[in-house]
Amino acid sequence: MRKMFGWLLVFVFLAGLAGTGFAQVEEKKAELEKIKQYIITLDQKIIKARADKQINKIAELKELKRRELARAKELRQEIARLEKAEVRPRAAKRMGPKAKRGGFQVGAGYGGGAAILGAGYTIPTARLDLLIDAGYGLGNEYSVLSANISGVIPLGANYVGIGLGMANYSEKVKDIPGLSGEIDKGSRFGAGLFFGRCFGPLRAQLGYNSALGLTAGLNYKF
């Protein structure tokens, strides 16, 4: 349970990281708008202080305005930098052509010590894709049924994903690569991390899942 909770925390961190840039831009834009309104207020106070011939007050207000103008300039530069960073980096483009993100996929692979056939569906979002998949595998005198829900971060032609899932073993098994001891018959919940690369409609990936052990797969996306 502790391991699953740890993986869940990592998943939440990655999902939050994907939207951090956008949130920072909106936060800085809001701060910039407040500064603009404050500068207008300072100008009005300066006009009033001049009318009242408050020399010291005028100097104090001008200094405040100078600081706010400097901060506004910094914010504009930071906003421009963050908005530019949201554009896909050139390094990611060099990784290969942009891969199709949404749609159905079928594949074959390895997990839970068994050869697995599976299918899934990807729902693309702005920065983090949602993958729902299931598979059926045959091992040495046992079978395993798996189902997972994962968050996938596209990185050009590459991708990284992390998710939660379940594996159901038909018999008690042991010697599963990546898992220690015996695995009881029945359902086992876990979390997984995987890395992959797209070759046109094909996707090759490797990973680890605390319910299936070491995993590998080759998927075809329609």
Residue 5 is predicted with a pLDDT of 47
H or E segment and range at residue 61: helix 55-85
Domain boundary among 57, 87, 117: 87
Does residue 166 belong to any structural domain of this protein?
Answer: yes
In the structure encoding, which two tokens stand for residue 10, read together? 């990592």
Does residue 197 belong to any structural domain of this protein?
Answer: yes
| 25 vs 23: CA distance, rounded Å | 5
**Whether residues 126 and 190 fall in one domain:** yes
Q: CB of 158 within 8 A of CB of 197?
A: yes
**Whether residues 34 and 65 fall in one domain:** yes
Does residue 92 belong to any structural domain of this protein?
Answer: no
**Whether residues 57 and 162 fall in one domain:** no
**Whether residues 9 and 50 fall in one domain:** yes
Residue 14 is predicted with a pLDDT of 53
- Closest among 119, 112, 165, 106 to 137, alpha carbons compared: 112
| 199 vs 163: CA distance, rounded Å | 23
**Whether residues 131 and 52 fall in one domain:** no
**Whether residues 58 and 111 fall in one domain:** no
Does residue 68 belong to any structural domain of this protein?
Answer: yes
Residue 43 is predicted with a pLDDT of 94
Does residue 172 belong to any structural domain of this protein?
Answer: yes
Q: CB of 88 within 8 A of CB of 66?
A: no
**Whether residues 14 and 118 fall in one domain:** no
Where residue 209 sits, what CATH number does that domain have?
2.40.160.20
**Whether residues 195 and 149 fall in one domain:** yes
**Whether residues 133 and 193 fall in one domain:** yes
Range of the domain at 174: 97-221
Number of domains in the chain: 2
Domain boundary among 24, 59, 87: 87
Does residue 140 belong to any structural domain of this protein?
Answer: yes
Give average pLDDT by consecutive 10-residue segment, the chain, 222 residues: 49 52 78 93 93 92 93 91 66 51 90 95 87 95 95 91 95 93 93 94 94 95 88
Does residue 185 belong to any structural domain of this protein?
Answer: yes
**Whether residues 73 and 54 fall in one domain:** yes
**Whether residues 77 and 132 fall in one domain:** no
- Closest among 132, 94, 136, 121 to 222, alpha carbons compared: 121
**Whether residues 179 and 215 fall in one domain:** yes
Domain boundary among 38, 56, 87: 87
Does residue 55 belong to any structural domain of this protein?
Answer: yes
